[in-house]
């Protein structure tokens, strides 16, 4: 069975890289000023690149670099239903 698009890819990415998951959740949940999603996205991409992920790996192999998955993931972490 072939997967349609990248559905579930972001969740898998977070399971494979729990340190990156912790980074994005920490940045998202900062007290005072919440970091905007584009900034969290850039920091996430830098962290994944530093771990050795390449342009052929998700999320680098997508047009948006996984920002939709990140946005949905953060909404879920806030207990909000996200539909892509």
Model confidence, pTM: 0.83
**Residues 3, 54: Cα–Cα separation, whole Å:** 21
pLDDT, tens digit, 9 for 90 and up, residues 4-63: 567 789 999 999 999 999 999 999 988 777 789 999 999 999 999 999 999 999 999 999
User: Contact at 8 Å (CB) between 37 and 70?
Assistant: yes
d(CA 26, CA 20): 10
């Amino acid at each position: 069975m072939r997967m349609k698009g990248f559905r579930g890819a972001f969740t898998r990415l977070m399971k494979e890289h729990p340190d990156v998951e912790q980074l994005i959740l920490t940045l998202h949940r900062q007290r005072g000023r919440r970091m905007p999603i584009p900034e969290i996205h850039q920091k996430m991409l830098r962290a994944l690149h530093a771990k050795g992920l390449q342009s052929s790996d998700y999320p680098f192999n997508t047009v948006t670099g996984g920002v939709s998955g990140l946005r949905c993931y953060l909404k879920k972490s806030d207990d909000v239903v996200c539909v892509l």
